Amino acid sequence: MEAKNYHDYVIKDGKFIGDFQNMYKDCNDPWMQSEQPNKYSRSAGIWHLKNFNVKSALECGCGLGYYAEWIYRETGIVPKSVDVSSEAIAKAKDLFPHLDFETADISHDLVKYTDVDAIIFSEIIWYILPDLKNIFSAIEEHYKGKYLIVNQVFYKGSQKYGNEYFTNLEEFSAYVPFESVGQCEATLQTDSTIETSTIFKI
């Protein structure tokens, strides 16, 4: 039986599908999370946590929990890690029972987690575009004085979705209503993607 392609559950033919629950039911390791993809941006995100003396964090879009484990190993922080898919959260709890996972939709649940120093968006920007301005408004209201860390991949001229919002780090940073206080951008010549990590002061 042919393995199902996780991309078909997320964005297909330039259109957002967003069926994360069934994706995590049908696909064992979407985005090759167990291999820690996008190592540049994820490493930079951890460096931001250390450099800005962050002691607690809310990780949004934790998936199977591998990045939460990396954060824990590198910083000692046990992030409150949330994902919209209860299937993903169940698997993350099995994989990393010593960490803290919970099902949540950040488009309306952010007000539940304000007792943290920073919010981390783990490669989720393309999936929350329609709600992004409302999410930023909620962050501005409830997380003032804290940090937002965004790990995000952009594409070298091949992006087909979200182009009306932004297509690169410079455009994204201009879109975000908070001050950028640090950013990293990295790629390999052979890659079609550009990995980025930016920390904003809210």
Query: Which sequence spans correspond to the domains of the chain?
Result: 32-201
Q: What is the mean pLDDT of residues 149-164?
A: 92
How much is the pLDDT for 3?
A: 60
The predicted-structure confidence for 7-33, as pLDDT tens digits, reads as follows: 899 988 888 999 999 999 999 999 999
Note the pTM of the prediction, 2 decimals: 0.95
In this predicted structure, the answer to whether residue 172 has a pLDDT above a threshold of 90 is yes
- The domain 32-201 having CATH identifier 3.40.50.150: the answer here is yes
Q: How far is C-alpha 66 from the chain's CA centre?
A: 12
**Percentage of the chain modeled with pLDDT above 70:** 99
In this predicted structure, the answer to whether residue 1 has a pLDDT above a threshold of 50 is no
- Six token digits for residue 154: 């952009």
d(CA 148, CA 160): 26
- Six token digits for residue 12: 């297909």
The predicted-structure confidence for 177-197, as pLDDT tens digits, reads as follows: 999 999 999 999 999 999 999
How much is the pLDDT for 162?
A: 93
Kindly give, in sequence order, each residue whose CB lies less than 8 Å from that of residue 79, ignoring residues fewer than 6 positions away.
Answer: 56, 57, 58, 59, 62, 68, 71, 72, 99, 100, 120
Q: Residue 2: which pLDDT band, with cuts at 50, 70 and 90?
A: very low
d(CA 58, CA 26): 27
